[in-house]
Amino acid sequence: MSTPPTLPVTNQQAVQSQPPINTPAFRTFFSRLSASIRDGLSQRRPWAELVDRSSMARPESLTDALSRIRKNLAYFKVNYVAVVSLVLAFSLFSHPLSLLVLLGLLAGWMFLYLFRPSDQPLVVFGRTFSDRETLLALVLSTIVVVFMTSVGSLLTSALMVGVAIVCVHGAFVVPDDLFMDDQEPANAGLLSFLGGSATSAAASAVAARV
């Protein structure tokens, strides 16, 4: 009597234990993010210096105002980024629906594309979506959210208010040549994180998918 053929058995426990996101890339991104934020905030200027009324005076001309803004941007840039971020946060928290939509969009990018393991396809209602289809859907969703809902106008208006506050402050604060001498070492602060660390971390996450 012949023995029945052995059927392959799928290890359901191994499949279920597969993480829904690329954990190493996820941890790398947020470790670089937190380290860059801490490094940037450590280089901020004292807030008392930012609101010191004795250093404020009305600019004599438009050229003088622009010169002050340029110099004060270089000196107070970390503080200015914090001020603009606070304005954005206040605007979003005062509009909870827009905040939820923006958080949902951000979560979609993170968990459906950036940090999803490359060997784990996206399956929705029994249909498998490729990386290209997922990316196209996320790009279209971003366009709809930013340009066809109140989220885009809310972010734009909040940014304009934040930039206006920064420009007014920068125009009325008289730059002191004494404190301008030590501005160069601070140029690698929070703005370098915005331009470099987050981009490289996101790029490493995308590279990990490939």
Average pLDDT over residues 142-170: 90
Q: Where are the domains of the chain?
A: 56-175
Q: Are 117 and 19 in contact (CB under 8 A)?
A: yes
- Is 17's pLDDT higher than 90? no
Higher pLDDT residue, 130 or 91?
Answer: 91
Segment 60-103, tens digit of pLDDT = 889 989 999 999 988 888 899 999 999 999 999 999 898 898 88
* Helices 62-93 and 96-109, packing angle to 10 deg: 90
> Residue 159: pLDDT above 50?
yes
> Phi and psi dihedrals of 124, rounded to 5?
-130, 120
Whole-angstrom distance, CA of residue 180 vs CA of residue 74: 9
Count of CB atoms situated within 10 Å of the CB of 164? 11
CA distance 136 to 101: 18
pTM of the model: 0.62
Residues contacting residue 182 through CB under 8 Å, at least 6 positions apart: none
Residue-wise pLDDT for 66-78, tens only, equals 999 999 988 888 8
